[in-house]
Amino acid sequence: MEFTAQTIADFLKGSIEGNPLEKVNNISRIEEGTKGTLAFIANPKYEKYIYTTGASIVLVNKDLKLDKKISPTLIRVEDAYQAFASLLNLYTSQLPQKKGIDPNSYISDTASYGKDCYIGAFTFLGDHATVGNNVKIYPQVYVGDNVAVGDNTILYPGVKIYKDCVVGKNCILHASTVVGSDGFGFAPGEGTYQKIPQIGNVIIEDDVETGSNVSIDRATIGSTILRKGTKLDNLIQIAHNVEIGENTVVVAQAGIAGSTKIGKNCMIAAQAGIVGHLTIADDVKIGAQSGVANSLKNKGEIVLGSPAHNFSETKRSMIIYKKLPEMYSRLNELEKKLNELRENNT
């Protein structure tokens, strides 16, 4: 399929700078663009490529300033990243969809599923599992007893959902992610540990996406909850009874310990850790590799470091940290000179 700049600009409600009849039939990265492809620029780091790209059409933000003449046709839009996302979503929605129930799957007599589902080979649906309409379950997925999966959700190969857990509508769970494994609860005895059975579940609300190899433990009692619109990256640890607020984003390899409650619209960067039994306010941002040891009660707070602390103060401490050896020498020197002065003064 081929599209003109005019067709794309109309779809995106953007304005054209260049040739409205310029045609593209594929998508490229701006730095690797070739004739016949459409690229985009959202990150200023990549603006320099506008002068060298071979792409025929480039999607850019309305306010992009140019220093010299360029060869591609531009389509200017309010938000180039969002516009690009819309185009890609249009493109992928037209790809052929997996459908049908593979005879090599196992579906319990008491399980049910809706219209237009795909259930792949070697996938297991347990007793009383309920799967909505248009759900795509790839091969080798485990859907335990009494699990509910909402409409339009995609479970990629090897996802494992333990019994009694709930996954909402329009969710995407990537390969080998585990939902509902036991929380890490042990009562210390005399040198050994007694297991605390974990009888709660996990509730994943609508529009949630998790990456691959994520671990989301079931609650001891009650539910571990990912609220509507939560986005988790890969290899993340969500402990028992954690609750994550709507539209909060958690980046790769971060971990959240038991019973901590995270607000809405938070951003938890990669490899950060949050201690258990804390409360994190809405709109909080936690820097990469931070270690949060106390509740963060101020909406919109930004923290960094291990232990995590005010972002800009920590940034300053990080700069001085590099000067520690110098500071130490200067301190020694000062003491020496001061002592000399004191001796001279007596």
Positions in 27-86 near its own copies (CB under 8 A):
27-29, 32, 43, 45, 79, 81-82, 84-86
| 240 catalytic residue (yes or no) | yes
Amino acid identity, position 16:
I
How many Å separate Cα 258 from the centre of its chain? 20
Site stretch for its own copies (CB under 8 A), options 14-22, 66-74, 109-117, 244-252: 244-252
Distance CA 171, CA 205 (A): 8
What single-letter amino acid sits at 128?
Answer: H
Q: Kindly indicate which of the ranges 57-65, 70-78, 109-117, 172-180 contains the residues binding its own copies, using the contact rule CB under 8 A.
A: 172-180
Residue 176 is encoded by which pair of tokens? 């080998």
Cβ distance 35 to 54 under 8 Å? yes
Q: Which of 68, 69, 342, 343 binds its own copies (CB under 8 A)?
A: 342
Give the nearest distance from C-beta 69 to its own copies in angstroms.
Answer: 26
Residue 279 binding its own copies, by CB under 8 A: no
Are the C-beta atoms of residues 270 and 287 closer than 8 Å to each other?
Answer: no
Of 147, 146, 148, 116, give the one whose Cα is nearest residue 133.
Answer: 116
Identified binder of its own copies from the candidate list 35, 99, 299, 316, rule CB under 8 A:
316
Collapsed DSSP state (helix, strand, coil) of residue 271: coil
Beta strand 160-161 with 178-181 is parallel
In the complex, the smallest distance separating the C-beta of residue 65 from its own copies, rounded to whole angstroms, is: 21
Structure token pair of residue 57: 């059409």
Question: Pick the catalytic residue: 174, 240, 277, 309?
Answer: 240
CB of residue 106 vs its own copies: minimum separation in angstroms? 4
String marking each residue 178-217 x if it binds its own copies according to CB under 8 A: x--xx-x-xx-x-xxxxxxx-x-------x-x-xxxxx-x
Which sequence positions are flagged as catalytic? Answer: 240
